[in-house]
Chain A
Amino acid sequence: MIEPLIRIEDLHYSYPGGDEAVSSIDLDIGRGEIIAIVGQNGAGKTTLAKHFNGLLKPTRGRVVVGNVDTRKAAVAALARKIGYVFQNPDHQIFLDTVAGEVRFGPSNLGLSPGEVQRRVDQALEVVGLSTLLGADPRSLSKGQRQRVALASVLSMEPEVLVLDEPTTGQDYREGKEIMDFVRDLNRRGHTVVFITHDMNLVARYADRVVVLCEGRVLMDGSPREVFGHPETLAKTHLVPPAATALALRLRNLGFGHVLTIEELMGECISLLGGDRKVVCL
């Protein structure tokens, strides 16, 4: 097993005056993993994610980041380790230029001006906003503002990056660019946790999927394992990606378990007697 970076032990949390939003969650997040959290609305995805950097403190059980119990640490201190991108960018945008907004995070970390500048440039490059450095974030579209918010956390280069629905409001290409960069970060050693409703995103980018249902972990495994159990997924109103579902239906014809359209094509070609490598190019 990979060294756990975030360890969650018997986590319970109820919002003041509400029912339990998550209960009995045991989860280890290893260094270098890229994990998707999925589940229907109200399954507890955001509640769980907010425990990673101490935004919420457990009502029972504990969350340990590195070797720090989140109950004993301030969010601003944990922010060096754990970046969190919120769903709504308007909750954080307060400066009148894109560059200034992205600079705010790293300059709170006490880095040298050169280092701050390097990070700002890089983060803006990644989200494709380099040409809008001086623009007022409020005059941008919602999708663009979301990317400003993302860049402002990326520029802090946290060990763990938590993304709450990073691709909502983005078109296909924008979403892909963001996720490709997130995967690059992951390959460079950053741990990534993202919340999503998009199963194709899970199939393409995640190494591991945690499926939540009514505040509990329903399944935890690789996308291949998890999407192989459509009946269990249905409990939390999820369906596997279309390619996977189709291949499952065509099992009698000899189709194997696939995750993406490309793999499905590969199966078709090899069933027809061709060389699947041709397609993978």
Chain B
Amino acid sequence: MSAYNRGESFVHRLSPLTKMLWCAAVLAVGVAFNHPLYLGAVLGTVICVALLGKQGRELARSLSGLGVLSLILFLIQILFYHEGRVVLALVPLGHGYGHVTTDGILFGLAMVFRMNSILLSVFVLLATTQPREIVLALVEKLRVPYDYAFMFTTALRFIPVLLAEARVILAAQETRGCAVSGHNPLRKLKAYIPLAVPLVMISLNKAERLAISLETRAFGSGNRTSYYECRLAAADMLCMVIVVGVLLTSLTFSFLGYGRVNL
């Protein structure tokens, strides 16, 4: 989910700045509306952009990964939201508990669409933009200090590395007869210690080695210049205008009460 997918598409060619603006817009619009139909439309546009960036396969993979999370979120909403007309009473007696209501279903769907569109928009940004470009855009256009921008991309860069390390550690502990199974949560927690401790130690070591290798290569010794420049092309300008236009329109409509349900 965090890896850059080399490719050639309209979305790949856009400036990271444009894509970041788009992510921010998806976030704002996602929060502004709370009607599932409107949020469904937002998710629809995110999926369209992902397809435009030729990320169909990765999109399907992330969607199936987010599916479980979505289902849990949906179930929590319909089980604990009691306003509106009762559709199904799981527990016949009493008030509220176990009553599935229309509003609960609507609210649950809205939450699922909202979460998926926000997460997937960030996924599209990361999958179609080289970390180097993101740093450049942050530093040159948004005046973020280079150290912070570097920290941000390093963190992203290390997610897959740590996942791989975690897999090896799991394998190493399994070969010593350590099995993470059973139903007792306390015991389960205890079984994770053999996995967590080496992972933390390895990460600390990695960070230290990284710091040393940065310093031996004169990190932070002066002003950096870079070979690549963060340029905004005509297509970027056009996209930004569209994004800002849609954002302002959406916010206005939401302010006027469209796409908001009183839940």
Contact = CB atoms under 8 A, between A and B. Distances in A.
A227 interface: no
A93 interface: yes
A152 B201 contact: no
A79 B175 contact: yes
Interface string B183-197: 000000000011011
B177 A92 contact: no
Nearest to B205: A90
A90 B208 CA distance: 15
Question: Interface size for chain A: under 10, 10 to 19, 20 to 34, or 35 or more residues?
Answer: 20 to 34
Interface stretch (A19-27, A80-88, A174-182, A235-243): A80-88
A276 B178 CA distance: 52
A108 B173 CA distance: 11
B177 A156 contact: yes
Given A90-B205, A91-B169, A91-B202, A104 B175 contact: no
Interface string A125-142: 000000000000010000
Interface in B195-212: 196-198, 201-202, 205
A234 interface: no
B168 A79 contact: no
A79 B172 CA distance: 10
A92 B172 contact: yes
Nearest to B165: A91
A104 B169 contact: no
Interface in A198-238: none
Interface string A90-101: 111111000000
A75 interface: yes
Given A90-B201, A91-B165, A91-B169, A84 B175 contact: yes
A266 interface: no
Contacts of B202: 90-91
A104 B178 contact: yes
A93 B171 CA distance: 13
Contact of A75 (B165, B171, B205): B171
Contact of B175 (A75, A94, A109): A75
Contact of B176 (A55, A74, A79, A88): A79
B179 interface: yes
Given A79-B175, A108-B176, 16 more contacts: A50-B171, A75-B174, A79-B174, A88-B168, A90-B205, A91-B169, A91-B202, A92-B169, A92-B172, A92-B176, A92-B194, A92-B198, A105-B177, A108-B178, A153-B175, A156-B176
3 closest Cβ pairs, A-B complex: A108-B177, A94-B197, A76-B179
